């Protein structure tokens, strides 16, 4: 990620979009590099936008429980377990700070680290309102992101709850 961010200083294309999910670094860990990159790009007349999408908490927890059960990581986990277990608390917060779940035990979350990470973000979108993200991307880029056919299905996130 560090090498990639340094490469953003080269003008190779009009737009560069970075998708970062389950990589090594969380936002708070590379905050200084992100700030430096943004400041440099703005100094040469470029734009750098950093945003994230979060799920509505109940939808997220149900989806996460399904994932943990279906992949065999926690086949017997219940909704109550997920809501009361310390391992399953503040999951979106942990993703923002440290990204990959295997790293969550390495450090305790802290409000300072969260505020550092959050201050980097230009926008935070709720996945269930995906149209807001698409509209914003189209606004800042001046480019239609989706074809009319695909636009009809945007945000149609099917949630299949577990039986209990």
Give the pLDDT confidence of 51-101 residue by residue, as tens digits.
888 888 788 888 888 888 898 888 998 888 888 877 666 777 777 777 777
Expressed in percent and rounded to 5, the helix, strand and coil fractions of the chain are 55, 5, 40
Its sign, for the CA torsion 22, 27, 96, 46, is negative
Q: E strands, 39-78, where? A: 51-54
Helices vs strands, H then E, count in the chain: 8, 2
What does pTM read for this prediction? 0.69
Q: What is the dihedral of CA 7, 11, 17, 23, to 10 degrees?
A: 0
If one counts every other C-beta atom within 10 angstroms of the C-beta of residue 138, the result is: 13
């Amino acid at each position: 990620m560090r090498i990639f961010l340094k490469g953003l200083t080269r003008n190779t294309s009009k737009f560069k979009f970075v998708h970062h999910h389950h990589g090594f670094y969380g936002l708070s860990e590379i905050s200084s590099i992100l700030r430096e990159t943004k400041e440099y790009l703005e100094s040469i007349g470029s734009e750098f936008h950093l945003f994230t999408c979060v799920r509505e908490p109940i939808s997220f927890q149900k989806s996460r429980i399904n994932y943990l059960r279906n992949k065999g990581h926690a086949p017997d986990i219940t909704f109550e377990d997920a809501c009361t277990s310390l391992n399953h608390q503040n999951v979106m917060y942990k993703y923002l700070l440290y990204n990959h779940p295997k790293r969550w035990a390495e450090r305790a979350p802290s409000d300072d680290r969260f505020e550092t990470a959050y201050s980097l973000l230009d926008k935070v979108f709720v996945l269930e309102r995906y149209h807001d993200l698409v509209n914003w991307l189209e606004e800042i880029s001046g480019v239609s992101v989706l074809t009319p056919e695909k636009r009809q299905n945007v945000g149609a996130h099917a949630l299949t709850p577990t039986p209990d």
